[in-house]
Amino acid sequence: MYQEATEYLKRRVGTDAKIGIILGTGLGQAAEAAEDPVVVPYSEIPNFPVSTVSGHAGRFVSGKIAGKSVLIMQGRVHFYEGYSMAQLAVPVQAMHMLGIEKLIVTNASGGICENYFPGQIVLITDHIKMTADSPLRGKNPDALGSRFFDMTQAYHPALKAAAHAAAAEMGLTLLEGVYAYMGGPQFETPAEIRMLRALGADLVGMSTVPEVITAAHCGMQVLGLSCVTNMAAGMKDGGMNQEVIAQAEEKLKERLKQLIIKVVRKI
């Protein structure tokens, strides 16, 4: 599936970019940081899954940030939208074939750690996948990577260090945490959050992990930035609260944009 998508994107955006960025729910404004943008809707790309969720523009934005060529996914697709795990792998596989070596992945999440609060950006250090399926289940695409591959440093130490340095320049302290992947679309129950907390999770969400697994398979370096929009169910002031989420997203938009600019400059 990724091959036709790659050939089409080569004609539209070229192969100059080495840095890719995936923007999560409500975080698409960060794409405005790209200078001289070329925009390609997902719907125009062969074999490419199309975003169906509010808050995801569903398009590639190619341009420059801090003088470096970047390729931005302004919105993503999710397993709960009805796509297979293999389809979730296509965007990252295509980015790899276009020459992307470093991938910045962002998401909106629920906070499990008591030290977190809505409106905070957390550096992802590791993840827990709570679904059985994998984006690499089935025949291995040998041209992209090995059948079996290491996930020990799926979130790259050098990129984490760059993020900490960039945040410090902004006067921010990035806390670190483990992200738990749940399939959705329903939010988690308090009992599920207690389980995840017992397993060592600090954050919970419905994205990112399939993309990171695919990136690791392709040998890409990954930086994960999770934007806490609400506390998870059963936590203090936790659960689904649209007003809290909207307020947090508003705080996060410009902050994430500036952080991404500084990170790109450093990597």
pTM of the model: 0.97
Residues 97-141 have pLDDT tens digits of 999 999 999 999 999 999 999 999 999 999 999 999 999 999 999
Q: Please give the domain boundaries of the chain with CATH numbers for all domains.
A: 2-266 (3.40.50.1580)
Phi-psi region of 120 (alpha: psi -120 to 50; beta: other; left: phi over 0): beta
- How would residue 68 be classed by pLDDT, with cut points 50, 70 and 90? very high
Contact 208, 108 (CB under 8 A): no
Question: Is pLDDT at 160 greater than 90 in this prediction?
Answer: yes
Question: Is pLDDT at 26 greater than 90 in this prediction?
Answer: no
Question: Is pLDDT at 65 greater than 90 in this prediction?
Answer: yes
- Predicted confidence at residue 264, as pLDDT, reads 98
- How would residue 240 be classed by pLDDT, with cut points 50, 70 and 90? confident
- Predicted confidence at residue 31, as pLDDT, reads 95
- Predicted confidence at residue 86, as pLDDT, reads 96
Pairing of strands 175-181, 120-129: parallel
Angle separating helix axes 85-97 and 2-13, nearest 10 degrees: 40
Spacing of C-alpha 140 from chain mean position: 23
